[in-house]
Amino acid sequence: MRSWLKKLRHESHNLTQEQLAKMVGISRTMITEIENGNANPSVKVAKKIAAVLDFNWTKFYEEVSEEDKPHEE
């Protein structure tokens, strides 16, 4: 799950999945799959999403972020 992506899209840029999808040129369902971690964007799509949301596109290909790691009790 890429909760960082959803948070960035929604809280920082106030965009819906549909709005982001149109800006990037992909389907809303693909945005959902990417946010849920069920799909990885192509480099081209990663760069487009990153440009819209203003982050480094390589973040998609990094290890699981600290925010998305399960919390150990």
User: Which CATH number characterizes residue 55's domain?
Assistant: 1.10.260.40
The answer as to whether 33 is a domain residue is: yes
Say what percent of the chain tops pLDDT 70.
85
The answer as to whether 29 is a domain residue is: yes
Residue 38 belongs to what domain range? 3-64
Contact 28, 60 (CB under 8 A): no
Region 18-23: mean pLDDT is: 98
pLDDT higher than threshold 70 for residue 72:
no
Number of domains into which the chain is organized: 1
The answer as to whether 72 is a domain residue is: no
- Which pair of structure tokens corresponds to residue 30? 């693909």
Per-residue confidence band for 62, with pLDDT thresholds at 50, 70 and 90 = confident
pLDDT at 73: 47
The answer as to whether 58 is a domain residue is: yes
pTM of the model: 0.82
CA distance 32 to 51: 18
The answer as to whether 20 is a domain residue is: yes
pLDDT higher than threshold 70 for residue 66:
no
